[in-house]
Structure 1
Amino acid sequence: MEHLRRPLVRNIKAGDKVLVLSDTAHDPRVWQAVMSILQEIGADTTVTLFERRPADYYDPPAAVCEAMMKSDANILIASTGMLHCAASLRSMEAGIPSICLDGGMQLEWLQSGAIADDMRQIAVRKHYVGERVFGAGAKTCRVTSRYGTDFTYSVDGQIWIPPLPKPDYDPYKIINFQKDENRPAGKLYYYLYPTGEFNVAPHEGTAEGKLVIDLTMHHLGRLSTPIELTVRKGRVVQIDGGADARILRDFLEAYGDENAYMCPAEASVGVNAKAVIRGIQREDKNIMGTMHFGLGTNVDVGGSIFSKIHMDGVILHPTLYVDGVKRIEDGRFLVDIEG
């Protein structure tokens, strides 16, 4: 369980008050394994179990939210994404870090795949994707795909290039994103694993065209049929496709709000060389050369939109043009991102 141990032993010390959050739909072996590691460290650990939240970004129960403000670290192991829920944002703003492996990872998936990649090299790739794929002066992106995506949006002034890791860089330490990655992302203070994405928050209201999600989407998991989103002035106005499209329409109506239809809340690139298709967001959106596009909240990646939810959809083999120059073709980088 070495991959699971590394962020815990780097960030938690004996005597720390640690709150572990999980739900009854998640693989219990994960929080049990984390609990055993924390006991070895000597942390003062409490585990909370609650019913699965109805959607990603929904808060845990009120008693858990209160407890999050009284811990030294919160470890998120829920089947829904909780890293950017209101309770987690409040605790991070108060200087209490979140260590996040939520989203439904099974124990076996924490022994291979994305979690096993070289985390220092991921930081290198993120720098060079920012510098060589986009560039600080990038203005317009166009994305196409074999399933019919033809989608444009503005990134003018929105590309934030994280620094190359220094010799003393520890890829398992909790990150202060404003300080460590040059990202205007509020007071985010967390460690996320598995990881491996370069985040971009396009200008709200600028996106136009067809966006076809073909691999995985929050809440839906692995898609059986592509979902076609028609976007006008940065807002989803139509959702077409088969059963998965129907599920998404119903889900947004039941659990979303007006801002849940904002698109793309983010338009990010996967840079993890060992990530494989698992059928869940936590792994799939990190696959090298994929792109994922978000609906809803984007304050966590440098935008200004807040929504009750955030949903990422992954395109497995995108083609990306930046200011008319092709940088990714069918999921393959056309520039060197390894340094």
Structure 2
Amino acid sequence: MSSDERVLVVTDTVRKDIGVPIYQAALERGCDALLMEMKPRVRSGEEPPRAVEHALIHTDVFILVTTVSLSHTQARKEACKAGARGASIPIQSNDQDLVLRTFARGGMTADYPAMSKSIGRMMDRLKHIHEARVTTAKGTDITFTFEHRRWHADTGIVSKPGEFTNLPGGEVFVAPFSAEGTAVIDGTFGDFGILDEPLKLTVKDGYVTSAEGGHARELNKVFDHLGRNSRNIAELGIGMNPKARLCGILLEDEKVGNTVHVALGDNTGFGGEVSVPFHFDGIIKEPKLFLDGEEIDLKDYVFGAMKTTA
């Protein structure tokens, strides 16, 4: 942020413990800063108030420090279309010590330029692949097809108008064209945090046909309330941050190296066609990843490339 930029910090009544200090830091840098505090949203992907939406498209830089994610809202997408650049920092935890540790350690402390090189190496490998298969010892066996869908890199570095990141950064992701198989979520799932019991999702033609296990009852209520689009397999992501650790805060957990994540719901912000006010990511630990039938070593891409840049 430079002193001649308009900076908007959006927070809520729960997450102002982080939002207010970030706003104060923007003021200290001499920015024309504005703080907006809103009522917490119910679920990730739910739109903010109209006043926030309006402010987002009339700023240069935005920082969304909220309880649940605004990343996949139309308000955020329209802000980037209007030329604003920014970051989302959604934190669901009520454990303030854990929240502060997330900022002091973990994924926020990665060497971002070096990690960007690792991500670039992974992106080169992902060019022109037609399908990916993910398996685990716990029962995951799901295949994704992509057609002409484009992979995206989140390096955590945002310097150009219209760019956007979640912090901490460190993942590559895509909106699959379709998916088929079984995904066993055994890490964090959406706003529920770390699962005590794995969540098994059965997928056919790109949509969840059944959910069993951890928080399946709550998820099925979302499906009933929001309809078929909330069952969409919205995203396949690969964690690329060597400093991130599984802690129950999704924005950290989805970046953990040697994990993949599968998201449900909206994917219109990164090349998909399904619009719904819902986006939940599920972390799958210790996966095997096959690209067009060839297994790749995720650890080498995350940690090996980092060693070569040290």
In the alignment, the residues of structure 1 paired with residue 218 and residue 74 of structure 2 have an alpha-carbon distance, to the nearest angstrom, of: 25
CA 1:114–1:141 in structure 2 vs 1: closer, same or farther (change >3 Å)? same
Q: Does 1:240 align with 2:212?
A: yes
Q: Does 1:295 align with 2:264?
A: yes
Aligned to 2:221: 250
Aligned to 1:119: 112
3-state secondary structure, aligned to 2:63: strand
In the alignment, the residues of structure 1 paired with residue 136 and residue 160 of structure 2 have an alpha-carbon distance, to the nearest angstrom, of: 33
In the alignment, the residues of structure 2 paired with residue 320 and residue 289 of structure 1 have an alpha-carbon distance, to the nearest angstrom, of: 10
Aligned to 1:148: 139
The Cα offsets for residues 130-151 of structure 1, whole Å up to 9 and x where unpaired, read as 223x3x2312211111211111
Q: Shift of the alpha carbon at 1:159? A: 5.0
Give the partner amino acid of 1:88: R
Q: What is the TM-score with the length of structure 2 in the denominator?
A: 0.89
Q: What is the TM-score with the length of structure 1 in the denominator?
A: 0.81
Aligned to 1:183: none
In the alignment, the residues of structure 2 paired with residue 102 and residue 146 of structure 1 have an alpha-carbon distance, to the nearest angstrom, of: 31
The Cα offsets for residues 130-178 of structure 1, whole Å up to 9 and x where unpaired, read as 223x3x231221111121111112134435486xx9xxxxx744356xx
3-state secondary structure, aligned to 1:269: strand
In the alignment, the residues of structure 1 paired with residue 173 and residue 305 of structure 2 have an alpha-carbon distance, to the nearest angstrom, of: 15
Aligned to 1:18: 7
Aligned length: 300
Q: Does 1:90 align with 2:53?
A: no
Q: Does 1:158 align with 2:143?
A: no
Is the CA contact 1:144–1:151 (under 8 Å) kept in the aligned structure 2? yes
Match of residue 253, structure 2, among 284, 290, 293: 284
Q: Does 1:262 align with 2:262?
A: no
Match of residue 174, structure 1, among 159, 162, 174: 159
RMSD over equivalenced CA pairs, Å: 2.3
In the alignment, the residues of structure 2 paired with residue 219 and residue 253 of structure 1 have an alpha-carbon distance, to the nearest angstrom, of: 18
After superposing on structure 2, the runs of 4+ consecutive aligned residues of structure 1 that deviate more than 3 Å are 156-162, 331-339
> 1:13-52 maps to which residues of 2 (within 5 A)?
13-26=2-15, 28-52=16-40
Aligned to 1:138: 129
More displaced 10-residue stretch of structure 1: 297-306 or 267-276: 297-306
Q: Which runs of 5+ in 1 are unaligned?
A: 1-11, 166-170, 177-187
Give the partner amino acid of 1:125: S
Is the CA contact 2:289–2:295 (under 8 Å) kept in the aligned structure 1? yes
Q: Does 1:198 align with 2:167?
A: no
Is the CA contact 2:151–2:172 (under 8 Å) kept in the aligned structure 1? no
Is the CA contact 1:129–1:337 (under 8 Å) kept in the aligned structure 2? no
CA 1:332–1:173 in structure 2 vs 1: closer, same or farther (change >3 Å)? closer
Is the CA contact 1:138–1:159 (under 8 Å) kept in the aligned structure 2? no
The Cα offsets for residues 87-110 of structure 1, whole Å up to 9 and x where unpaired, read as 111111111222322234723311
Give the partner amino acid of 1:76: L
The Cα offsets for residues 247-276 of structure 1, whole Å up to 9 and x where unpaired, read as 22223333x33211111x111111100001
Is the CA contact 2:67–2:92 (under 8 Å) kept in the aligned structure 1? yes
> 1:49-88 maps to which residues of 2 (within 5 A)?
49-88=37-76
3-state secondary structure, aligned to 1:274: coil
3-state secondary structure, aligned to 1:240: strand
CA 1:92–1:192 in structure 2 vs 1: closer, same or farther (change >3 Å)? same
Give the partner amino acid of 1:209: G
Aligned to 2:96: none
In the alignment, the residues of structure 2 paired with residue 64 and residue 131 of structure 1 have an alpha-carbon distance, to the nearest angstrom, of: 38
Aligned to 1:218: 190
Q: Shift of the alpha carbon at 1:305? A: 2.2
In the alignment, the residues of structure 2 paired with residue 289 and residue 271 of structure 1 have an alpha-carbon distance, to the nearest angstrom, of: 7
Is the CA contact 1:207–1:233 (under 8 Å) kept in the aligned structure 2? yes
Is the CA contact 1:211–1:229 (under 8 Å) kept in the aligned structure 2? yes
Give the partner amino acid of 1:240: E
Give the partner amino acid of 2:112: M
